[in-house]
């Protein structure tokens, strides 16, 4: 089964270097993406490809819409959607007041299934096709996430969250039980369909030393798991970690000591990391996930992108819903840009779109599968229609460069300009037409 999509086509070359993205991107004003059996068959200039193609197949004309690889959200909580936009607390109080009660409800399988579907639907309608996700401590929420993603054929990485202290009793679980549950879920879901497992101790405050040690040992039992946790998001959090781990030099040292820093480790936030912590992160190939809408919303602080960049650390981006205020990676880019502007070095539009497509795919070690339109890649893509936003349409009426187009889309755009999202060539999440679509 082969189908073509004609429109403006944008992606990055696999060889793209973060310091030289001007040479690393491809843009065709009249482009064609051909998908065959769920994989990219060809992508490039419409006329050139069309003239060479002997076979006849359906071509959908998307006009001036932009076809680009699906977005990758590397830090989001599937169990916090109900608590999004909750007023006036900083991280630790916000967790106690809003988040833990919200996560508790996912113990119920019916609740977990219904609300997880809503969560994934929101990712898709925002153009996000791959996500690194924190469910709750419960088997119910983690299974609901994997099962629903599998039904959708979505690329998803997740694992039950571990917490054995400093949270309400109803969410605590001793670490042997978390270990057992994670082991069972790995056997059931890891590498099945498009799923991967991430060992997920929430963070050093809610994990005892025994729990972190056990989580790290589970991670090292396999070659291809991921590990995700939070770090240095909020000053009070850092004080509390220093207090509960007095024998460690700094926050990062806690994770380092248990062998948790690896190329497959994703640390959320990292706003207040010191120079020696950044050096250690760089040396171990650990990734940092910048979550701008969340950092602004919770008043956590302003992430300085230049620091990891100078240390050759791979940074990715996360919506961090429900601390984050939008599922849209366009909105996430918008706030990342504003923070970088305040910090005195505005991030370029090419850099920003790289971070949510090929850059994130490389950080995840999935660049052979997703992230751009090279032949043989899984055909996860998004179609953006700027005309759906009248102000954006007005802004780009006159001819604009690809960079200017991208920039205007991320500053003014959101889910309303997502015309359709495709997973392996199948339409799954539209804001404009639902007829005949595989909607949840
Ligand atoms: Zn988070």
CA pair distance 382, 165, nearest whole angstrom: 41
pLDDT in tens, 60-114: 999 999 999 999 999 999 999 999 999 989 999 999 999 999 999 999 999 999 9
Q: How many Å lie between the centroid of ligand 1 and the Cα of residue 342?
A: 23
Q: How many Å lie between the centroid of ligand 1 and the Cα of residue 266?
A: 11
CATH number for the domain formed by residue range(s) 2-70+372-427: 2.30.40.10
Q: Which residue has the tokens 């949840």?
A: 440
Please give the pLDDT value at position 53.
85
Please give the pLDDT value at position 436.
39
Q: What class does CATH assign to 71-363?
A: alpha beta
Q: How many Å lie between the centroid of ligand 1 and the Cα of residue 387?
A: 33
Q: How many Å lie between the centroid of ligand 1 and the Cα of residue 433?
A: 32
Contact 62, 28 (CB under 8 A): no
Residue ranges covered by each domain of the chain: 2-70+372-427, 71-363
Q: How many Å lie between the centroid of ligand 1 and the Cα of residue 81?
A: 12
Strand (E) or helix (H) holding 408: helix 402-412
Average pLDDT over residues 316-344: 98
Question: Which residues make up the environment of ion ligand 1, defined by Cβ < 5 Å?
Answer: 268, 320
Exposed, middle or buried: residue 398 (CB in 10 Å: 0-12, 13-18, 19+)?
A: exposed
Q: How many Å lie between the centroid of ligand 1 and the Cα of residue 121?
A: 19
CA pair distance 245, 261, nearest whole angstrom: 17
Q: How many Å lie between the centroid of ligand 1 and the Cα of residue 362?
A: 21
Q: How many Å lie between the centroid of ligand 1 and the Cα of residue 80?
A: 10
Q: Write out the two tokens for 283.
A: 């040396």
pLDDT in tens, 415-440: 999 999 999 999 997 765 544 344 44
Please give the pLDDT value at position 399.
74
Q: How many Å lie between the centroid of ligand 1 and the Cα of residue 304?
A: 18
CA pair distance 369, 389, nearest whole angstrom: 32
SS3 assignment, position 43: strand
**Mean pLDDT, all residues of the chain:** 96
**DSSP-derived pairing of the beta strands 58-69 and 2-12:** parallel
**Alpha-helical segments (H) within 31-108:** 46-52, 91-94, 100-104
CA 50 and chain centroid, separation: 34
């Amino acid at each position: 089964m082969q189908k073509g999509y004609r429109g403006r086509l944008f992606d990055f070359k696999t060889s793209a270097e973060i310091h030289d993205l001007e040479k690393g991107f491809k843009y065709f004003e009249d482009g064609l993406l051909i998908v065959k059996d769920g994989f990219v068959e060809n992508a490039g200039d419409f006329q050139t490809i069309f003239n060479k193609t002997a076979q006849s197949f359906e071509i959908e004309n998307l006009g001036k819409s932009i076809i680009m690889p699906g977005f990758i959200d590397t830090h989001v909580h599937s169990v916090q959607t109900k608590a999004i936009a909750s007023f006036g607390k900083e991280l630790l109080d916000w967790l106690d007041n809003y988040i833990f009660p919200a996560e508790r409800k996912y113990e119920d399988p019916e609740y977990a299934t219904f609300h997880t579907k809503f969560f994934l639907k929101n990712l898709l309608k925002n153009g996000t096709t791959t996500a690194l996700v924190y469910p709750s401590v419960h088997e119910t929420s983690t299974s609901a996430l994997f099962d629903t993603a599998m039904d959708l054929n979505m690329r998803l990485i997740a694992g039950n969250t571990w917490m054995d202290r400093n949270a309400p009793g109803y969410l605590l679980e001793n670490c042997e039980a978390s270990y057992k549950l994670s082991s069972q879920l790995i056997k059931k879901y890891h590498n099945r369909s498009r799923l991967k497992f991430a060992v997920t101790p929430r963070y050093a405050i809610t994990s005892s030393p025994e729990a972190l040690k056990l989580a790290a040992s589970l991670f090292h039992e396999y070659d291809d798991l991921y590990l995700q946790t939070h770090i240095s998001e909020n000053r009070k959090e850092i004080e509390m970690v220093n207090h509960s781990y007095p024998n460690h030099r700094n926050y990062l040292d806690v994770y380092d000591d248990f062998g948790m820093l690896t190329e497959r480790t994703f640390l959320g936030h990292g706003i207040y990391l010191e120079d020696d912590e950044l050096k250690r992160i760089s040396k171990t190939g650990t990734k940092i996930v910048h979550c701008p809408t969340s950092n602004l919303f919770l008043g956590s602080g302003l992430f300085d992108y230049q620091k990891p960049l100078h240390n050759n650390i791979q940074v990715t981006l996360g919506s961090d819903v429900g601390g984050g205020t939008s599922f849209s990676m366009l909105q996430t880019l918008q706030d990342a840009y504003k923070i970088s502007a305040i910090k005195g070095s505005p991030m370029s539009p090419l850099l920003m779109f790289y971070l949510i497509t090929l850059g994130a795919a490389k950080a995840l070690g999935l660049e052979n599968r997703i992230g751009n339109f090279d032949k043989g890649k899984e055909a996860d893509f998004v179609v953006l229609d700027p005309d759906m936003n009248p102000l954006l349409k007005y802004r780009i009426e006159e001819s604009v460069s690809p960079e200017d187009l991208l920039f205007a889309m991320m500053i003014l755009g959101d889910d309303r300009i997502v015309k359709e999202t495709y997973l392996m060539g199948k339409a799954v999440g539209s804001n404009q037409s639902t007829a005949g679509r595989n909607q949840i």
